[in-house]
Amino acid sequence: MSDEAPGRRPNVLFIITDQQRADHVGFAGNEIVQTPNLDALAARGTVFDSAWVANPVCMPNRSTIMTGRMPTAHGVIFNDRSLDWGANTFVRQFLAAGWRTALIGKSHLQHGLSRNAVVPIGSSGAFDDPWPPGWNTLEDHESFADGPPDFPPSFYGFEHVELSIDHGSRITGHHLQWALDRGGVYEQLVVPMTDEAPAKRRSDRWWQVYEPPYGPELHSTTFVAEQTSAFIEEAAAGGSPWLVMASFPDPHHPMTPPGEWFDRHDPADMPLSPSIADDLATAPDYLRRFQRTPPTKQRGWVGMCGATDHELMRECLAATYGSIEMIDDAVGRILATIDRLGQTDDTIVVFTSDHGDMMGDHGLMLKGYMPYRGTLQVPLVIVDPDRAPARTTSLAGSIDLGSTLLDLAGLEGYVGIQGSSLVPILDDPAATVRDHILIEDDLPAGLAALAPIPAKSRTLVTAQHKYTRFSSGEDLLFDLGNDPLELDDLSSRETSMRGHLIEHLADALMAVDDDARGAPINH
């Protein structure tokens, strides 16, 4: 733990988006998407230009952010299981130390959102469930049919919870009652995740690009902004330090920015990814099959697919940028609330995303089992008012965020944390706290056999290289320093480097072999 000021009790605003690429912000050099508020945030914080996920899928990486542990350690390796009710989290530490804590927006720590997107495989599980019935149904949208259910005093450490559960124009969770109270029409809010969802306008190429039947005032981005600001005002009035996770469900597909945000960009102006024509000649065959699968033929509404329809790809980019710009506007309103309350100088701010999106890279769309930087790299800014702004290329991971915030607040960690504090980099952008990032990607064996795709892959990212090993025995090796687009697979040519990285990967896997299961939370 670093030598923070004695008695320092900073507020924490943790802003997280869903499925936002590292280069889909202005401060990363994107000249099309307009993110003035996020850019201003970056200008007063430390920008991490090499920040990576622990897993490129929602639930595993969100659980890693919360616990500071790899997916194979906390147990959520895929979107088909909930984070164990007894899992320790960095938020629990803040709550126990007297902070007010809140989660506003998307949680996805429980399996509710994914139940209709994941095919159940198998019968009896490997373990008995020791927790009281209903613990893992708090994110089931059915639980909100007659009004929000009663939440326990601590939801993984959050004492105040207001959920926006779904994606696209579909509204469920606490968000549903909020929207109904503001004049929303139920049949326009709780809609199917199909082409039957009502829309003011829809792409002729793919049903997942459309304008919702309601305006921005009912959208999830507005819900997160307003309820986050309301919590901050209440907590500030009470005099306690606070931690709030403002979790935006966008810009995840379906790509449905409302009202004015739908028209922010002309698809004709959208440049395509420079690697969109990659033939993936040396990649595993399943990636070429993804590439040949048009979005209209994807498995379910979340299935991986290709970007062969370039005009559709431009429509997706335009809608995605509209969603991001709406989020940027919402972030500006939350920051304005903090500033009006006179708490800007007492508030640490984190901005990141749970994973990225291929968005045309290598002729691929969406995320999951596509081990390229489009899905694996995320935006990351950490603002500490006590530290000077900076920019760094030092490696950082989603797994490090909990340790960093505990360190900045002068709080102790707990047994089993595998992340590292990034505070040394906040003090000196040339410093390093790790020489690699380990990325896991798992699919339950039954689902992998149905696809069929490799059930497992492991990726090692170093300052220069990225190496991925698949359970099929195949691999990919890229020199990120000289080949940032990942077009030249070196795995069959650079045998010496490949051997070195395999050894490094083996060491990294041993380092995260979990030994903390026998250490309970110390209440």
Distance separating alpha carbons of residues 290 and 280, to the nearest angstrom: 11
The alpha-carbon radius of gyration of the chain (Å, integer) is 22
The pair phi, psi for residue 315, each rounded to 5°, is -65, -40
Distance separating alpha carbons of residues 284 and 370, to the nearest angstrom: 10
The one-letter amino acid code at 310 reads: H
| 49 Cβ neighbours under 8 A, 6+ residues apart | 28, 391, 392, 393
Residue 316, pLDDT score: 98
Distance separating alpha carbons of residues 518 and 523, to the nearest angstrom: 15
Helices (H), ranges, 100-208: 174-181, 186-189
Per-run averaged pLDDT (10 residues), the chain, 523 residues? 69 98 98 98 98 97 98 93 96 98 97 74 77 92 89 97 97 97 97 95 97 98 98 96 98 98 97 98 96 91 93 98 98 98 98 98 96 98 98 98 98 96 98 98 86 94 98 97 98 97 98 86 72
Residue 506, pLDDT score: 98
**Beta bridge partners of residue 325, listed in sequence order:** none
3-class secondary structure, 458: strand
Name the strand (E) or helix (H) holding 479: strand 475-479
* Three-class SS of 242-271: EEEEEEEEEECCCECCCHHHHHCCCHHHCC
The pair phi, psi for residue 194, each rounded to 5°, is -145, -175
CA distances from 34 to 313, 324, 336, 461 (A): 19, 8, 18, 30
Name the strand (E) or helix (H) holding 311: helix 310-340
Contact (CB, 8 A) for 423 and 349: no
Distance separating alpha carbons of residues 471 and 449, to the nearest angstrom: 12
How many residues belong to the chain?
523
Name the strand (E) or helix (H) holding 229: helix 220-238
* Three-class SS of 334-360: HHHHHHHCCCHHHEEEEEEECCCCCCC
Count H helices, E strands: the chain?
A: 14, 18
Contact (CB, 8 A) for 477 and 497: yes
Q: How far does the chain reach from its first CA to its final CA, in angstroms?
A: 21
Distance separating alpha carbons of residues 340 and 174, to the nearest angstrom: 27
Distance separating alpha carbons of residues 68 and 412, to the nearest angstrom: 13
Cα dihedral 79, 85, 86, 90, rounded to 10, equals 70
Give residue 153's Cα distance to chain centre.
25
DSSP-derived secondary structure letter, 155: B
Distance separating alpha carbons of residues 184 and 109, to the nearest angstrom: 27
Q: What is the pTM of this model?
A: 0.97
Contact (CB, 8 A) for 177 and 144: yes
Distance separating alpha carbons of residues 144 and 172, to the nearest angstrom: 7
